[in-house]
Structure formats: C-alpha cells, structure tokens
Structure 1
Amino acid sequence: MDERMDILRKYNLWTEGDFDFGFMRVAYTGRIMDYVGNRLVKVLIGQRRTGKSYVLRQIARELIRNGVPPQNTLFINRELSDFAFLKTHKDLEELVALYKSELHPQGRMYIFIDEVQLIQEWEKSVNSYSQDYTEEYELFISGSNSRMLSGELATLLSGRYVQFPIYPFSYQEYTEIRHLEQNRESYMGYMNTGGIPELFVLPEKQEVQRNYLSALKDTILLKDIIQRYSIRDPRLLEDLFAFLVGNASNLVSIGNIVNYFKSQGRKTSYDAVAAYIGYIEDSFLAYRCERFDLRGKEILSGTAKYYINDLAFKNFLYPGTAYGVGYKLENLVYLELLRAGYDVYTGCAKEKEVDFVARKGDRTVYLQSTYMLVDEQTMRREYASLESIQDNYEKLVVSLDDFCLPSNEGIRHVRAWELHGLL
C-alpha cells in the first residue's frame, strides 16, 4: 500500500479516531459554515499558532455531523513533517488523485489544506479545483501570510474566494475557557496574559510560558520572514519587532524609527526598515493603523500607529518596556474592532486625536479608550475629542471603570468587558 495513504488515514476523520478538536471557536465556525455549499474558496489567514488548524478540523467535523460522508472530506496539514513530500502543486494533485482512487468519494469533496503557502505554486491547484465542473470540490485553505492572496491567486480567482482572519482567543473566549464571569477582574487577567491558544494548556508558570512565546516568536521570524524573504539582518528584524511592541499605540513614522536606530549606533536605511516592518505585518505579528483625517474624510500617509496581535508578546517577552495599562487597553480595543470585522483607523482633526474610527458597511463608530475616568479633568479630555466631531455617527468612550456613566451629548460610556456586545 502507498505510504501516503497511511499518512492520510492518520490525520483524517474517516474512522472513529481520537482526534483533538480543541476549544470550539463557534464565532469562526458559525461564520464560515454560512458560506458552505458553493465553489467559493474559504481562506483562513492569521499568525501561526492562533488555531487555524483547529478551526479547519472543527469545520470538517461539523460537515460530517450535518450528513457529509467522512470519506468526502480530505484534510492535509502541510506544516506537519509527515506531509513534507508535498513540495509542489503537482505533488498535491497526485495526493488528491490517490485519495479519490482509494476512497471513491461520491458527490462533493471537501478539501482542507492547512499552511498551503508551503506548497510551491499551490494557487494553480486551488484555482483548478475551484473551477472544475466535471467534479464537485469545495476548498478550505489556511496560511500564515497576509500576502498569500495578493498576487496570482487573487487574479486567478477574481472574487471566487472569501477570507476569514483568525485571531488569538478573544476576551469572551478567555472567560469561557477559564470559566470566569465577565467583569473588570477577569478583563485585567486577560490583559495581563494574552490569548495565544497554547498558553491555556501550558503550566501557569512564567518561565514555561515565556520560553514558549520566545520559541513562537523565533519560529515566525525565521520561517515566515527570514527564510521567505532572505533577510540579511535578522537582528534588525527582531529589534524592530521589539520596538513595535514597546511603542504600540504611539504615533510613529518610518523616519522616526530609522532615526531612533541611528541614535543607538545602528546602521540602517529607510527602505530596509519599511520592508522589515512590512514583513512583520504580513506575518500578523503587528498591524498598522493609518491616520484618518476627520475633516477631509481621507486616509493620511506618513505617521501611523502599530498594534501587536496579542499582548502575550508584551507581557512575557518585553515586560520592561514603558507600556502602561491605558496602552494595553487601547491595543485590546483595536483587536476587538478587527475581530468584529471593522476597518480601523486613528482619527485626527486639528490638534485633537480620536483613538479609533471604525467602519463596517454603513456603520461608523468613533471610540476613545482610557484607563480610568478618575476625575472631571480626565473626563473632559477624553470626551472633548469626540465632541469636536461634527457628524451623527456613534461615539463611545471605553474604560476600565467599574461604574458606567450616563450618555453625555450623545457619547456613550462603555466598560471594556462589555464592548463586544455593542459591536
């Protein structure tokens, strides 16, 4: 028997095997299942180790529970060493042909390919299967690079795919896993740990968790950036990531960063810094939040804010950087807006700044985040930026106060742990 079939049998749901499906991420599976039953390619993207593989397995199991024969599902995880023989799209097509010849699936086949970008010219096979009208294929693929759909595949598929960003555990998932009530205490606990899934199965020891996150960071930098882009200065890449962690929520520009490194005696260039930060963004370690002119209603180039994908990197790897609770809250609010599907900007008008301008469809929400509304001066400062906006879109002030203030001039006060329900 072909040993490749032994590998497939090991990782597929064709028998009553004891498979690990992890924590059910219904926010993702429910959304993705809404798109099942057509030829759209379902694309899951996100940082390594945020649970894309588990979500794919959960979808496959859900399909089987809904009546799809188990042999009509095919699961391939290219990141596993067992699948190292899958080097090119031709290897992939040979494996699919082998699966069909051995299991003889009747009707629609559901193909799941995890970390598909590790297969050379994978887009040719995905495009071919998605357009094959002699047989019915429905594809679900995942990848750890945001540019995997920016080139040839996007052109080939031309709108025949739908994309789902997968993030680390949200605060709501955190409280469900930990069996906690949603309140200030649990929110602070989430803020001071993070949502990287593996943290929830490791011993709750600082050294163990720090070592894991250090290894994860190194793996992402090495496999998703250094090897992929033939990086000449790995030390600069890592130092740039540390800089973004330490300066998250602050307005910075590429020029500022270059000058900072030069002041530290480091030789670098604008182009190198811009490219390396772009790679960090592509691997989902950090996000760039552009400035939005509230008067001209346009995106501004130059300075921007950066937010990290999970506060665990800050908490365990760079705890000494000047990054207070207010900045952590702002980072979490930003991520909550992304999870809710908003396009997010930082707003500016004259000398005032609004932390976030969040837009989704016809809805626009302005948000100001602050640690605590401790006195009248703080309240005036936080509310003033929102009061200066001359339109009627929603305006929210998000804080960690236990109390909730009444609406003021149309501006609502929201406790951070209740923000999810308003988005």
Structure 2
Amino acid sequence: MDEKIAILSKYNFWNGNVPETGFPRHDYTDKIMDYLNTKLVKVLVGQRRVGKSYILRQIASQLISNGISPENIFYINKEFIEFDFMVTYKELEETVNVYKTYFKPKGKFYLFIDEIQMIKGWEHFVNSYSQNFTEPCEIFITGSNSEMLSGELATLLSGRYVKFEIFPFSYAEYLGITKKQKSRQSYMEYMETGALPELFMLPNEETKRNYVSAIKDTILLHDIIQRYNIKDAKLLEDVFIYLVNNASNLISVTNILNYFESKKRKTSYDTLSNYISYLQQSFLIHKVERFSIKGKEVLSGIYKYYINDLCFKNYLYPGFDYGVGYKLENLLFLELRRKGYMVYIGTFRDKEIDFVARKGDRIIYIQCCYMLIDEKVIAREYSPLETIKDNYDKYVVTMDEVNFSSKEGIEHIQAWNFSDIIN
C-alpha cells in the first residue's frame, strides 16, 4: 500500500473505518446539505475547536448513509502532523492524485479539507477543482481565519462558494449533550461553563482549564503571532484579556490605549487597532457596531466586543468583576448570530438598546438584564423600547423565574426560551 494511502486511511471511512463524528449538529449539517449536488464550494469558518472537523465528518457519514461509496469520500485534516508533508497546493494536488489513482472513484468524489489555510496557495487548488467539469468533484473546506475568503480567493471564486460560520454549542446543543432539561438552573450552568465540544469529554475543572488555556495559546501563536509576525506577544494577550473582561461594555480603541498608558505600557493606537482586528479574524472576539435607529446609519468610534465562548472568561480570568447580566448579553449575541441575524447596538435619542437584530425582512429589538427586581429596574429596561414607535418585535430578556406579562407591546422572555422566539 502507498505510504500516503496508509496515512490517509487512518482518517477516512475506507475499509470499514469509522472516524469519530461527535455530537450531531443538525442545525449546521442540514443547512450545508441543502447545497449538496451544486458546484458551490462549501466553506466552514470559525474559531479553532468549535467543531468544524466533526461537522465535516458528520456530512461525510451522512453521504455514506445516503448510498455514496466510502471510497468516493476523501478527508484531509491539515492540523494532524502526518500531513506536514503537504505544504503547498501542488503537494495537496499530488496527494489527491494518489488517492484517485489508488481507488479510481467512479463518478463524483467528495473532497473534505480541514484547516485549508495552512496549505500555501490553496485557493488555486480549490478554484481549479471546483470548476473542473470533466471530473465531478464536490468540495467542503474549513478555516480558522475570517480573512481566508478575502482578496484573491474572493475574486477567483466570486459567487461560487457558500460560507457557514460555526459557533460553539448552543444552549439547545448543551441540553442535548448533557441530557439536562430546559430550565433556569441548566441555563445558568451553561453560562458558567463553556460550549466548546471537546470540553464535554473532559473529567474535571482542572483539565478543562488546561484545555481552554491551550486553545487560547494555540490560536494566539499559530493564527496571529506567526501569521502576522507579531513583535509584542505579551501585549497581544493583554489586549485579549482586556476585551474578555470588558465584553458587553461600550469601549473604543482610545479607551484601551488610555488603559495601557495608565499601566505604563508603551503602544500606539494603530498597534492596538491591528491586534483587535487579528483577534476578530481568528474568531476569538466579535465586534458589534452601534446603529442609529432614527438616522438609519451605522455609528463609528465606539463598539461592543463579545467573546466567542464564555469558557475564556470562566476558566482563565474568573477573578475580575463580571456580572451575570454581562454574560447573559454575550450569550444572547452568540445565539442571534447562530440564527443568522446581523446584530447591532441600537441608539435612539439618548437611549441605548442592547441589540437591533436583522434577518431578511425581520427586525427585532432586545433589552437584557439579570433580573427585573423592582419597578426602577423594570422602568430602566423597558423605557428604551417604549420610545421606539415602529411595529417591529420588542423583547426584554432576563433570568427571572416569573414570566412577566407584555407591557406596551413589549414581551418579556426568559433567557432559556430565547431561541424559540428568534427562529
């Protein structure tokens, strides 16, 4: 057997081998399978360890269940050291040719490539294979950098790919993998842990903390420091820590610059702006712009940042003051993004609306807080929504055990039921 085939056989579905597919994530696989039998390249993007590889293998397994021969499915994961020989797109093509020569797949074959951005010039390979009408091939790829679809690839594949952003487990997926029931208690537990799939295979808090720390270090080193030739790695990590501990707060780059200057740390506005951009591109954080509801325009200068997974806060930096309300806001943002909404921070006159979310023709306004403990808090949370006189849906989302009745057309939603109203 060819040496490369022997290596590849460990990770493919050939000869009765069944690679691990993990917890089923139907919300993603169903959407991706809707694009099956098209020439569109299916691109899965997201932070490292959010489960992109599992989803690829779940799709491959589903194809086999639907009657596709395992030998017509070829899977490569560039993160595995066995594939270190595959540095450029030419070596990728040579490997695919070894596979085709050995198995001689009849009809269409399905190509799955994990972390393809680690292969130099990969876009040339994808462009060529996706447009080869003499040899049917359907391509699924993943990457851990949001910029992988910019520049040359965007030009080469303009209109010929479909992108899916993969997030950590949703609350519904958390319930599925833990076998818990929907309740305030289970939602609090979801909030106080993390939602990266492999966390649920670890036995205790210490191993989870070590795992999260290793992920953070890997992303900072491989996806940012090495990729962008970062000179001050400590500053990069400190910027990440600052954003983690100020998630859900309105901040500007100037705020961050002033903070580091107060700590006698030398840096510049441009350096901080670049570091924040790199953290965004690696999907560790998400920047949300403000939107003027009255002026119908995006406002620049001040933003909110949200963590891609609360595990970074819960396991790495728990000592900093960070209330339940801020964590709740972070979770609601992630759920809106999972459901495909564009999300903004709303401003109307002198008031702030936590979220203005848009998907297609639907617009919803959302306020969130920990609990509506008295009339003063109720007035504070409902007032911004009451000033908006249009007919779009308006919600206040909290962790209250009691479900409050509607007020001025504004509906109260318990956080653990939030996903039900944004589908």
TM-score where L is the length of structure 1: 0.99
Q: Is the 8 A contact 2:43 2:161 kept in 1?
A: yes
* Secondary structure of the structure 2 residue equivalent to 1:15: helix
Map 1:87-126 to 2 at 5 A: 87-126=87-126
Map 1:8-407 to 2 at 5 A: 8-204=8-204, 206-407=205-406
Gap runs ≥5 in structure 2: none
Gap runs ≥5 in structure 1: none
* Shift in Å, 1:70: 1.0
Q: Is the 8 A contact 2:19 2:57 kept in 1?
A: no
Corresponding residue number in structure 2 for 1:5: 5
* Shift in Å, 1:322: 1.6
* Shift in Å, 1:212: 1.2
Q: Deviations over 1:180-220 (max 9, x none)?
A: 1101000000000010112101012x222111111110011
Q: Counterparts of 1:210 and 1:74 in 2: how far apart (Å)?
A: 34
Q: Counterparts of 2:405 and 2:161 in 1: how far apart (Å)?
A: 44
* Shift in Å, 1:68: 1.0
Percent identity between matched residues is: 59
What is the one-letter code of the residue matched to 1:290? E
* Shift in Å, 1:350: 2.3
Q: Counterparts of 1:254 and 1:56 in 2: how far apart (Å)?
A: 37
Map 1:412-423 to 2 at 5 A: 412-423=411-422
* Shift in Å, 1:390: 2.5
* Shift in Å, 1:392: 1.1
Q: Is the 8 A contact 2:41 2:138 kept in 1?
A: yes
Matched pairs, number: 422
Q: Counterparts of 1:133 and 1:316 in 2: how far apart (Å)?
A: 50
Q: Deviations over 1:245-285 (max 9, x none)?
A: 00000000011111110011000000000000000000010
What is the one-letter code of the residue matched to 1:260? Y
* Shift in Å, 1:2: 2.5
* Secondary structure of the structure 2 residue equivalent to 1:125: helix
Q: Counterparts of 1:194 and 1:385 in 2: how far apart (Å)?
A: 31
Q: Deviations over 1:14-71 (max 9, x none)?
A: 2212421111111111111111111000000000011100000000000111111111
Q: Counterparts of 2:47 and 2:401 in 1: how far apart (Å)?
A: 33
Q: Counterparts of 2:172 and 2:8 in 1: how far apart (Å)?
A: 35
* Secondary structure of the structure 2 residue equivalent to 1:231: coil
Q: Counterparts of 2:47 and 2:336 in 1: how far apart (Å)?
A: 17
Q: Counterparts of 1:87 and 1:58 in 2: how far apart (Å)?
A: 26
Q: Counterparts of 2:207 and 2:101 in 1: how far apart (Å)?
A: 46
CA RMSD after TM alignment: 0.8
What is the one-letter code of the residue matched to 1:13? F
Q: Counterparts of 1:220 and 1:189 in 2: how far apart (Å)?
A: 26
Q: Counterparts of 2:208 and 2:64 in 1: how far apart (Å)?
A: 36
What is the one-letter code of the residue matched to 1:171? Y
What is the one-letter code of the residue matched to 2:165? P
What is the one-letter code of the residue matched to 2:400? D
Structure 1 ranges of 4+ moved more than 3 A: none
What is the one-letter code of the residue matched to 1:266? R
Q: Counterparts of 2:90 and 2:115 in 1: how far apart (Å)?
A: 16
Q: Counterparts of 2:209 and 2:102 in 1: how far apart (Å)?
A: 45
